[in-house]
Amino acid sequence: MITLPEITFANVLDYIGTLAFAISGIRLASAKRFDLFGAYVVGLATAIGGGTMRDLLLDVPVFWMNNSIYFIINLLALLLVVLFGKLVIRQKNTWFIFDTIGLGMFAVIGIEKSLAVGYPFWVAIVMGSITGAGGGVIRDVFLNEIPLIFRAEIYAVACVFGGLAYWVCYAMGMGNVPCGLVCGTVVILSRVLAVRYRINLPTLRDDEMPE
């Protein structure tokens, strides 16, 4: 049975992030020529993987086990990719756009859920990063790729920037909605600007390691 909770700002962010991450995962699975079931599994893992890890670490009920709407959203993402395959799959920047949106939305969700159950802000920032980047790690493992957070690109670090922005706004007395909007915007802008201007983290190379 599908349960539909009361629509809140957090729910809207959650559903947008779920759809965006699912599309990003399914798009990459399509590029690897996965079948429909395989693409669905990759999309689902991308969409709920980070939140699952977060809830297990926070010792709270795993969110999707009480609400099957996430499976429906993932199915919708699969249908969108199938119906608009030429537009979604062949555009090289499609994956980046949806992945970045999902990253920003899920970072906010992770932070707010951690604060709601009483954890301090530093834990909330960590959980926001795990919620945002965790699904992408599982996706890349399924696709036999090096996880994006282990490469030089600004990815999980963008979630940290967003978390710090949330904390600053919260300290200034702003409410959850404006704090969340600022956080999500900072995450998305950090990722976009880093890619646009090729801002990367330093890499560790073998020839720099001590004997």
Whether 136 is in a domain gets the answer yes
pLDDT at residue 203 in the model:
78
Residue 201 pLDDT > 90, yes or no? no
> Residue 208: how many CB atoms within 10 A of its CB?
8
Please state the pTM of the whole predicted model.
Answer: 0.88
Q: Is residue 210 part of a domain?
A: no
Query: Confidence class of residue 89 from pLDDT cuts 50, 70 and 90?
Result: low
Question: What does the pLDDT look like over 97-125, one tens digit per residue?
Answer: 888 999 999 999 999 999 999 999 999 99
Query: What pLDDT score was predicted for residue 90?
Result: 59
Which H, E and C letters describe the chain, residue by residue? CCCCCCCCHHHHHHHHHHHHHHHHHHHHHHHCCCCHHHHHHHHHHHHHHHHHHHHHHHCCCCHHHHCCHHHHHHHHHHHHHHHCHHHHHHCCCHHHHHHHHHHHHHHHHHHHHHHHCCCCHHHHHHHHHHHHHHHHHHHHHHCCCCCHHHCCECCHHHHHHHHHHHHHHHHCCCCHHHHHHHHHHHHHHHHHHHHHCCCECCCCCHHHCCC
Average pLDDT over residues 133-155: 89
pLDDT at residue 114 in the model? 97
- Give percent above pLDDT 70 in the chain: 90
Please state, in angstroms and as integers, the Cα–Cα distance from residue 46 to each residue in 20, 88, 106, 120, 157, following that order.
10, 17, 11, 27, 18
Predicted pLDDT of residue 148: 83
Looking at per-residue pLDDT, the higher value among 91 and 70 belongs to 70
Q: Is 207 within a domain?
A: no
Closest CA to 154 of 184, 196, 182: 196
200 φ, ψ to 5°? -125, 160
The answer to the question of residue 47 being in a domain is: yes
Mean residue pLDDT across the chain = 89
Residue 14 has pLDDT above 80, yes or no: yes
Question: In whole angstroms, what is the distance from residue 169 CA to residue 112 CA?
Answer: 13
Q: How many domains, the chain?
A: 1
Domain assignment present for residue 49? The answer is yes
For residue 66, give its domain range.
Answer: 9-200
Q: Does 127 fall in a domain?
A: yes
Poorest-pLDDT segment among 12-21, 37-46, 51-60, 164-173? 12-21
Alpha-carbon distances, residue 19 vs 74, 136, 181, 198 (angstroms): 6, 14, 18, 27
